A and B are shown apart, each in its own frame.
Chain A
Amino acid sequence: MGTIQNKLEEPVSDELTLVRAAKQGDDSAFEELVRRYDRNVFRIAQHITQNREDAEDVVQEAFLKAYSNLAKFQEQSKFYTWLVRIAVNEALMKLRRKKPERTVSLDEDIKTEDDSLPREIADWSPNPEQQYTQAELREILSKTIQGLPPGFRTVFVLRDVEGLSTEETAAALELSVPAVKSRLLRARLQLRERLGRYFQKRESGDGEQ
């Protein structure tokens, strides 16, 4: 069984050239950074806020904050990791303002049975996603991930959707590597279990051996 590979591998030096030019006041270099990462920031923001208008606001606020704080960026991490950290904070703040009754924090630790085996273990149909139209599938995926606590879905999105490494995810979220790994495992297992409701093999007629 193969493993999952990261999909985002940017040449750092190229990014750093743009960052340094932007620091010198070259706005077209900063605009290039916006072009490079706006889709990622939007996706992360919408996963966290679960709201499109909020995600649009987060994209604008995150880039503006990055622009105005560029001089403080120490170049010890990738610019993208630094930007993600700003965007995640903005998105969590939005969520907090909307749901003041619930504390929204990356530190929240929901009690789950993380060291026991998942309860339902039923195999999925082959290519389960093909049972649904693209629109239906998006609806299922969106609804399913909304059910996770923000701290879990943020880790899952950065690590598995955006392809940040465990260390980059930890740096972006100011969490320890073991905390990222533990949340990632729980997020993956919870999503797997919830998606099972849609993707499980039917009892009869699909050729199980």
Chain B
Amino acid sequence: MKCSDFLHELTNYLDGVLDEPTKVELENHLSWCHNCYVVCDTTKKTIEIYRDSQLYELPEDLRSRLRSAIMTKCQQHKKRGPESV
């Protein structure tokens, strides 16, 4: 496997959807190619950091304000009939 092949398979590898022979080949490549190992490892960390970041959490007070605004609008819509949105 060449470095360009590794890159082509990286997303499937990280998503755990590679077939077994390709996975073995890729992991063999990673065992000796330091650059690809670093790319793989830091890409995985990138995903984990974003996933665990709690970026843009909805604060509870805003959350309940939004929910009650939504439900009020829904009820107004119901009264006015289906053409109002």
Contact = CB atoms under 8 A, between A and B. Distances in A.
Asked if A and B bind, the verdict is yes
Interface of A: 1-5, 7, 25, 27, 30-31, 34-35, 38-39, 42-43, 46-47, 55-56, 59-60, 63-65, 67-69, 115-118, 121-124, 128-129, 137-138, 141-142, 145, 156, 160-161, 163, 166, 181, 184-185, 188-189, 191-192, 195-196, 199
Given A59-B70, A115-B8, A121 B38 contact: yes
Interface in B1-39: 3-4, 7-8, 10-16, 27, 30, 35-36, 38-39
Contacts, number: 146
A163 B16 CA distance: 13
Contact of A1 (B40, B54, B57, B73): B40
Interface of B: 3-4, 7-8, 10-16, 27, 30, 35-36, 38-51, 53-58, 62-63, 66-67, 69-71, 73-75, 77-78, 82, 84-85
Nearest to B63: A38
User: What secondary structure prevails in chain A residues at the interface with B?
Assistant: helix
29 contacts: A1-B27, A1-B30, A3-B13, A31-B71, A38-B67, A39-B57, A42-B58, A43-B55, A56-B62, A59-B66, A60-B70, A65-B85, A68-B85, A115-B8, A117-B4, A117-B7, A121-B39, A124-B41, A129-B49, A160-B51, A161-B51, A181-B11, A184-B11, A185-B11, A188-B11, A188-B43, A192-B39, A192-B42, A192-B43
